[in-house]
Amino acid sequence: MIRLATEADIARLVTMRWDFTIEGDPAKGEASFLEFEEECTTFLKDALTNNRWFIWVAEKEGRIVSHTYTELVHKVPRPGRVTHPFLFMTNVYTSPEVRNEGIGSQLLQSIHQWIKDNQFEFAIVWPSDEAVPFYKRNGYQRCAEPLEFLSGKANE
C-alpha cells in the first residue's frame, strides 16, 4: 500500500530517518537520538500540515518499509506561459529487509503519476552514487549539474 504519511506515522518516520543516516555514516550513531527525535518530530509535524512537503510511504503487512520526502517548489511566474511548480525529492529510503522487492520502484511510480496528475513540471533528486542505477531504472536521467554556493555550515 502506497499513501501519503499522516501524523500517526511520525514515530516510524523518525526511526527510519535515523536508520537511514546511520546506515550511510555509522559515526553519526554517536549523536543523541533524543535530540534528533525532538528536532525531526517538530519538522514532521510542520511538514505534514504545510502543503509544501509531501511524505510518501509504502507499507508491507501494515508496517512502513519505504518512504520518500518530496518538497513542492513554486517557481516565479514567466510571461507567456503558465508556471507549474516542480518537485524536489529527498530522503528516499527502503528498509534493508525488503530491498530488491520492487517496493521503492512502486513508490516512485505512484509519485510519477501524482506529478503527471498535478502537472508539476519535473522532479529532481541528488542520488548517492549507489542509487543512480535505481533511479535510471525508474526513468530518471542525468541533467546538467546545478551551481551551488556552500556556506560552510553544511560540513559542520
Contact 85, 74 (CB under 8 A): yes
Question: Mean pLDDT across the stretch 13-29?
Answer: 91
Domain-by-domain residue ranges, the chain?
A: 2-139
Mean residue pLDDT of the chain comes to: 90
- Segment 128-137 mean pLDDT: 89
E-strand ranges in 15-130 read 53-60, 63-73, 86-94, 123-125
Which tens digits make up the pLDDT trace of 101-131?
A: 999 999 999 999 999 999 998 899 988 888 8
Q: Give one DSSP letter per residue of 103-117, joined into a string.
A: HHHHHHHHHHHHHHH
What the block records as the C-alpha cell of 116 is 503527471
Other beta carbons within 10 angstroms of residue 86's beta carbon come to: 16
pLDDT digits (tens, 9 = 90+) for 62-114: 999 999 999 999 989 889 888 899 999 998 899 999 999 999 999 999 999 99
CATH class of 2-139: alpha beta
